[in-house]
Amino acid sequence: MQQTFDDTGIKRRPMLKAAIAIGAAPLGLAIAAPLVGALITNPGKDPITTAWKEGIRLVRDDGTPIQPGDMHTGSIETVFPGIPDGNTNKYADSPTLLIHMRPEDAAKVKVQPGYETAHYGDYFAYSKICTHAGCPASLYEQQTQRLLCPCHQSQFDLLESCKPVFGPASRRLPQLPIKLDSAGYFVAQSDYRVPIGPALWEHPDNDK
């Protein structure tokens, strides 16, 4: 009998210790559950959606809508969804850059497949939230046609539909499809088609 036990190679003391540990683990979990449980929040669709929807106007910080012709060529403007509190941190994922490119630059833009009608003339709209760490990618280099994020220096090439060309970012700034509404103001065609901001585990579009 003893021989059989020895043959298994299982020592009594470590075996007992392991058994106690396995037995105590659920007890620990039971104590932790109510403390942690209250904190747990289901992300739902929030990480991959923004406030933009079809027909929502692109408005400035002061709430005024924008028409073609309001902006000089080669200029950018930060726009927000034209909804109540659209420019506040309640919609921190929605700030967008509306760019009026110079006609000669706009002609050179390599549009992504599926985005042929996403821009309006020389006006392009891209998410302002950097796809690296979520800072606003807000520095516009008019001469090189690049957007630069001041936090970690990711650079996006406007001529390639905001493809990252330098630095740590690995994804494009998503493009917001835009059009004009009946009054002649810029509105969104839809929400962004890919999630904005930093990458995440459940990223539905995992090919840049």
- Interface residues toward other proteins, by CB under 8 A: 39-43, 46-47, 61, 78, 80, 87-89, 91-93, 95, 128-129, 132-136, 138-139, 150-153, 164, 166-171, 197-204, 206-208
Count other C-beta atoms under 10 Å from residue 75's C-beta: 14
Q: Using an 8 Å Cβ cutoff, are 157 and 148 in contact?
A: no
- Shortest gap between Cβ of 10 and other proteins (angstroms)? 26
Q: What are phi and psi of 164, to 5 degrees?
A: -70, 130
- Shortest gap between Cβ of 63 and other proteins (angstroms)? 12
Mapping DSSP to helix (H, G, I), strand (E, B) and coil, where does residue 100 land?
strand
Phi-psi region of 58 (alpha: psi -120 to 50; beta: other; left: phi over 0): beta
Complex with other proteins: residue 106 or 154, whichever CB lies closer: 154
Complex with other proteins: residue 151 or 159, whichever CB lies closer: 151
- Shortest gap between Cβ of 175 and other proteins (angstroms)? 17
Complex with other proteins: residue 181 or 202, whichever CB lies closer: 202
Q: Using an 8 Å Cβ cutoff, are 113 and 121 in contact?
A: no
Complex with other proteins: residue 2 or 143, whichever CB lies closer: 143
- Shortest gap between Cβ of 70 and other proteins (angstroms)? 18
- Shortest gap between Cβ of 186 and other proteins (angstroms)? 17
Complex with other proteins: residue 134 or 180, whichever CB lies closer: 134
How far is CA 190 from each of CA 51, 58, 166, 175, 199, rounded to the nearest angstrom?
Answer: 10, 12, 29, 11, 21
